[in-house]
Every structure is written in C-alpha cells, then in structure tokens.
Amino acid sequence: MRQVILDTETTGLSWEKGNRIVEIGCVELLERRPTRRHFQRYLNPEREMEPGAAEVTGLTWDFLRDKPLFHEVAQEFLDFIRGSELVIHNAAFDVGFLNAELARLGPEYGRIDDHVSGVLDTLALSKQRFPGQRHSLDALCKRLGVDNGHRTLHGALLDAELLADVYLTMTSGQGEFSLGAEAGENGTSRAAETALRPLAAVVRRGILPEEAEAHAARMAGIAKKAGGTVLWGSEA
C-alpha cells in the first residue's frame, strides 16, 4: 500500500472566507515504511497572512511573495499523491482548502477524492483510540513518545514527518483496522479503511538541509522583527 502523509499551512482558518494555502508538505510511505520521498512547496497566497496564522507558522508576505502560485505546482502535487491513501490530521480542514484551490483552476482538476484511493483522518483515529484526551499533534507526540523538540513553529513538511511517526506508532502491532468512512461536505472520506500491518522498523530521518535552511530563514526574520531578542536565541 502506498500512503502519503499530508499537511498544509494556510493564511487563516477558513477557505470559505478566502484564505489560501501557503505551504504543502507530504511524505511517502510504502507498506508502512518511509521512503524518504517527499513533496514540499511554499506558495504565494496572493494575500496577507492573518495574524494568528503568521504567529504559528512564522511565515510573512515578504517571504511568500516570490513563491509560485498554486496553479504552477498543482500538477506536480497531484502527480505525487495520485493513487495513494492520504493520511491527514483533521482531514476536513486540509482537504477543504485543497478542494478550494482546485476549484479555482477549473472543473477539469476535480476534487482531491478524484486523485487518491482514500483519506484517513488521524484525528478521528485518535479520538477512537484515546477518548476523552487531547488530540492535537503535539499532544499525540507527547503521549506516544515521538520527539518533537525541534518543532518551534508549525511547518507543513515538518508536521507531515511528525504525523508519519505518530501514525506509525499509533497503529503499529494492530491487525485490520477500520473507521467508518463517511463523506463530509468538503468531499472528505473521513476515515478510509486501511490495513495496518505490524511495523518492523520506523526509519526516522533528520531534517533535510533545505528544510533547515528555510526554517532558519523564517526564525531569523522573526528574530529581526523582535529586535534580536527571542526565546530560542540561546539554543544550540
């Protein structure tokens, strides 16, 4: 089975209010093993970031203004995810934004469900596995022993990598597992059936050089705006 762990960052919380995607991050799993293949793009959203989104991502219009538009990377993105099962935390959010972006390009691009075999929502999985507890990515990392110490800001590729570890840890050692698949109004298959095989080994990789460079640039920009005094300034 080929799965793609996917995350997006956006200018705000609602695509219905005109917010746009500013980053897409994907990592590939084959038979539950990371392949080191990934897809990551920053995007020009053609609008300013909302304050809350800028705060959690560290992204600014100055950083994004020279990045490609969604239509320039859409085909490459769709080629990467084609035929896979998407694994997303709070899938309705990301799929809603992606469908809105595809709709801007025209009906020939269809919807996300037209390009993949299904969508598994790890938020729904977490709620079933850990009822009554917190289900954020950070909470799951802490609960499952996944190291997220390097996550000072939200980033689509970094979060997709963390989610891959969370998903593999949360589902390792189980047999066939199925969540009731129910299409939402955004066309999301809330939780597609997936065969969860025992995990022989989770291959963890370090942050890629280009990821570290982009992250450092974002952190430097925040530090500059803060006058050079930031909480992480003393960290190695």
Banded pLDDT at 38 (limits 50, 70, 90): very high
Instruction: Give the CATH class of 2-225.
Output: alpha beta
Banded pLDDT at 184 (limits 50, 70, 90): very low
- From the list 194, 218, 167, 190, the residue with the least C-alpha distance to 94 is 190
Q: How far apart are CA 216 and CA 111, in angstroms?
A: 34
Mean pLDDT of 15-20: 97
Handedness of CA 11, 13, 18, 21 (dihedral sign): positive
What pLDDT does 175 receive? 37
Catalogue the E-assigned strands of 57-122: 85-88, 118-121
List residues with catalytic annotation.
Answer: 154
pLDDT 10s digits, 68-88: 999 999 999 999 999 999 999
Task: Please state whether the predicted TM-score (pTM) of the whole model is above 0.85.
Answer: no
Banded pLDDT at 155 (limits 50, 70, 90): very high
DSSP for 173-207?
A: T--EE-----B-TTS-BSB--EE-PPPS-------
What pLDDT does 29 receive? 98
Helix H or strand E encompassing 16:
none
Q: How far apart are CA 100 and CA 94, in angstroms?
A: 10
What pLDDT does 231 receive? 42
